[in-house]
Amino acid sequence: MDREPEGRAGEDAAAPTSAGEAAKALADEWAEEAPPPAGPVANLGACVVTAGVGVLGAVIAVGLGLGTPTQPGAGLWPLAISVAVVVLSLAQVVVGRRGGDGEKFSRYSWLSLVGLATLLGLVALLPVIGFEIPALLLSLVWMKFLGGESWRSAVLYSVLVVGALYGVFVGALGTNVPHLF
């Protein structure tokens, strides 16, 4: 009984017949909808900015104190991450010339700044009211407004994320994170 599934009769004969063809068709569709490339000057500018952020982070991390490998200070891991940011930024200067161009800024680019502003809001509220409410609000804003999830999904995922964070950091690890409960 080799019957064709319902809804497939009358489909276009030019439809992709293999997974590879379907993937190529989807990639072509995305390429048509993508914003124009930013160009090499914008790529270089992005590399310089991220390298500068990494250098600034390294300077601040050293100021926090590095400690020793057996007794790490507050700045050890921020220093490691900052060094990685600088190395990757400088590598992008070299490799990025052969890679694809980044996208030009568009109205969707501003969503990154909204994400950063809400993250800073979390940091500001954390010592005042604990992490549960700010983390829930942050997750909700990111899922609903930045991620385009439905309200039901955004609320459900946000509650699950905050519950998981609470379980790991407060319950399992016993960290000294400001919290309400």
Q: Write the Ramachandran bin of 67: left for phi over 0, alpha for psi from -120 to 50, otherwise beta.
A: left
Contact (Cβ atoms closer than 8 angstroms) between residue 121 and residue 138: yes
Domain count, the chain: 2
Asked if residue 118 and residue 54 are part of one domain, the reply reads no
Domain that holds residue 78: 22-105
- Which of 49, 79, 105 is the endpoint of a domain? 105
The tens-digit pLDDT sequence of the chain (181 residues) is 444 455 444 455 455 567 778 888 888 887 777 777 777 777 888 889 999 999 999 999 999 888 888 888 888 889 999 999 999 999 988 887 665 666 777 777 788 888 989 999 988 988 888 888 999 999 999 999 888 899 999 999 999 999 999 999 888 988 888 877 7
- Which of 56, 82, 105 is the endpoint of a domain? 105
Asked if residue 28 and residue 100 are part of one domain, the reply reads yes
Asked if residue 130 and residue 114 are part of one domain, the reply reads yes
Residue 11 lies in a domain: no
Residue 13 lies in a domain: no
